[in-house]
Each structure stands twice: as C-alpha cells, then as structure tokens.
Structure 1
C-alpha cells in the first residue's frame, strides 16, 4: 500500500522584489536560517523547479484567482531538475488556498505515468487500494472540471529554513519562464521570460511568524502582494485573454 507523499497546511505570504535586493537580503537571513537540505546536497545555492498546470477549457482556475475567489484550487505536475527520463520522479499536486492558509496534497509518480492517457490508470495502480479520500477528491476535481495540462512554468529556487524551526521557510524564485504546453516532457525549450530581473519571495510557516523577521520586513520595506506565477505566466502567453468570459459560480 502506497500512501500520498505529502499533506500539510501552512500560511504563505509573497513579496516581489528586484534581484539586487534579494542578493542583499539573503546574507541577512543566513544569520537566522540555513540553506535547506536539498540545496546543501546539490552544492549549488539553487535548484530547478518545473510545473505543468492544469485548467479548464475556459481557464476557470485562472479566473478564480483573478476574481479574488478566497477558496480555490490548482492542480499541477511538479518535478525538480531537468531530467526527462521515464523514471524521473514527478509529483501530482492539489494546492488549495483559503485566504492565506494553504493546504497541499501530492502523490509521487514517474514521468512515464504522466502522459494524459496513462494518468488515471497510474494513479489507480499506485494508490487505488489506499481507500484514501485524497484520490477521490483528486479525481472529482480533475474529471468533473475536465482539467487538462495547459501551461509549463520553470524557475530557479533558493530555499532557506529556520535554524530553530525548519518548518519556517523562505524561498526566492527567479528566472521565471513559461510557455503553453500540454506535455510534461516538453522540456524547457522556447520558454518566455515572465520577469527578467524580478524575484518572488515566499514566506511559509505553520504557527507564528518569528519576531526577527518583522524587523527584516521593515528594514527592506517588503510589501506583501497577491502574486500568482500561474496567472502572470498565462497572461504572458495569452495577453488577449477575454476578461468577460468568466462569472462567479
């Protein structure tokens, strides 16, 4: 019996800042934080994140975000690095956001499982005997909304964790690139820059924001934003999306 790889709830806040500000901020954070274990094992100060986002024919997930729907979901494939081998680990994730509270569930698959016609059978083969409500909710969300892969996003991530609480994370996402795609094996060719010199800082924690970080926010004049990589990337690829094709359900 295979269990879902991950389930968690946490608070998430985002800040957008120029890359030169991020370069100054990271040494300050390292007084209180360490590079996360994945970065420590790679020998580099970043790793590559690749995602293929699902949406409906009319991009309802996109419009939910644009309309400010407080309780919304996204479905995506995610893998790390640049290997596109059949055995490359890929995670299928449902990310649900209710205001600032984020819930994420994900299951681990192989790259070869993620071809559209193979996906449902691979999920049943790997997780169908679990009697797990997550698989039911995944099929319900994906199949009743006719979700299909739509948009590929790739970026580099620098990630730090608190020295005294490794559930407190700060990530810096940069070199964000995108393209329309329905195939996870499409790779990173022909990608468009979303923000050439910008960095998205994400603050992730479970309970209370450390007091020292409040000082960081004030010192660097960080302003929270409602930033969505998916929405900004889709706008880059489809600049003429019709704002009038959506109504709240």
Structure 2
C-alpha cells in the first residue's frame, strides 16, 4: 500500500473534535503538550477522496441518522487533487456502533481531469482494477457524489496505542453522474478537525488523553457536511 497508509484488520474508535478559532500550529502545539507525548509521524500532505453512494443516497441517510451498522465507499489518494493519480486506494469504511474498520483495495493509476469528469471515468477505473468479484458487483451499483480535499498532519503517542490526525483547509466539490467541472468549491478555511484513533482494547485509558483536549467533541463527518451543502434533496 501507499507509504503512511493504515490498513485495518481490527475495529477501532475514531473520536472527532472541532478546534474552533485555532490555527493548525496552535492545534498541533496542544497535541504535542498532551501527557501521552504525541510526536509527528509522516510528512503533512493533501488527502483527497471521491465518495460514492447509491442512486437513493442510502449511505448518506444511514450515516445521517446514525444507523448502528453503516458504511461509506470512497476512492482516496494523496498529493495533488487533479492530474495523474498514481496510487489511489478504494476503501469501504464499515461502522458497527461506536467502532469501525475498513477494507482497502489498491487501484490502478488514472487521470483526473479538472475540466471534465464523468461517471464513465470511474467505470473505466473499476473495470481495470483487480477487485474481487463481490466488490466489483458492489461498486457497479454506486455513483460518485462528492469530492473533498484537505491538509492532514499525523501524530502518534509514545506508547503507539493512539494516533491523532489534524485536518484543515477543507474543500468540497459537488459530483454528478454527467459532466462535472471544479470551478466553485465549497471551502471551510477556518475549520480544524482533530481525530483520535485507537483500537477497542485501549478505550479504558483514553480519558487521560481527552481531558487535556480543549476541543469540542463532535460527530463531524466531511462526507455529510459536503452532501448537505450541495444537495437540495437532503435535509439540513
């Protein structure tokens, strides 16, 4: 897989926080001063995702209403948003109650045209990817609905049980089945999202970390935020 990409074989917690009116540097300083002794791992980078859903937006509504078992499908890559995408990864994020996991599949390189993008481009990518038959059948029923992009930095506790990511400079683009262009993104330039990630077995110790967070616990979902902004057919 891609350097710095985390594959999951277990279920883990992903607790999300909003750091209102705090810059990335200020947020990183708070993380580094935590008693868990977080330190930087990997270089900060741009994270990009194309999200997929059924024609009836089943994934969106399951996540909006917090159904106990739900999933999301996305194509993820790092670096430039547009151009030649060298190492995309298809992910199915699966949530059961408060914990989740993901299934990941390396996909072939493709060209993401800033001026013209259609569902046929994704169909071509999936048809040329080395996907298991059941996954291929599943994605055939999905369509691209949202592109998002953000800057991410990575931190890990000294005992390596906990990871923190910090996201800012969020951008969202509406996607439709037909022709798409990307001239008018929805941006959240002053929003900083902090995610604390850890395996189920370490949940009994997590309060020692979060009590030192001056952040607001939030069910923030970039997928939901983008969909609600762009789609008049979904509720506020």
Q: Distance in 2 between matches of 1:108 and 1:78?
A: 10
The TM-score, its normalising length taken from structure 1, stands at 0.75
Q: In 2 relative to 1, CA 57–67 (structure 1 residues): closer, same or farther, beyond 3 Å?
A: same
2:52 match: secondary structure: strand
- Give matches, 1:194-205, under 5 Å: 195-205=188-198
Count matched residues. 215
CA contact (8 A) 1:35 1:160 kept: yes
What residue is the counterpart of 2:202 in the other structure? 208
Name the structure where helix makes up a greater proportion of residues.
Answer: 1
- Give matches, 1:1-249, under 5 Å: 6-9=7-10, 10-20=12-22, 23-31=25-33, 32-36=37-41, 38-39=42-43, 46-82=44-80, 84-86=82-84, 88-112=86-110, 115-123=121-129, 126-127=130-131, 135-143=132-140, 146-165=141-160, 167-181=161-175, 189-193=183-187, 195-206=188-199, 207-209=201-203, 211=205, 214-238=207-231, 240-243=232-235
Q: In 2 relative to 1, CA 187–16 (structure 1 residues): closer, same or farther, beyond 3 Å?
A: farther
Q: In 2 relative to 1, CA 196–86 (structure 1 residues): closer, same or farther, beyond 3 Å?
A: closer
Give structure 2 stretches of 5+ with no counterpart: 1-5, 113-120
Q: Distance in 2 between matches of 1:54 and 1:82?
A: 20
What residue is the counterpart of 2:116 in the other structure? none
Provide the alpha-carbon RMSD of the alignment. Answer: 2.7
Q: Deviations over 1:25-72 (max 9, x none)?
A: 422422401111x21xxxxxx210000000111211111111221111
2:155 match: secondary structure: strand
CA contact (8 A) 1:6 1:107 kept: no
2:60 match: secondary structure: helix
Q: Distance in 2 between matches of 1:198 and 1:69?
A: 26
Q: Distance in 2 between matches of 1:90 and 1:35?
A: 24
The TM-score, its normalising length taken from structure 2, stands at 0.79
Give structure 1 stretches of 5+ with no counterpart: 40-45, 128-134, 244-249
1:138 match: secondary structure: helix
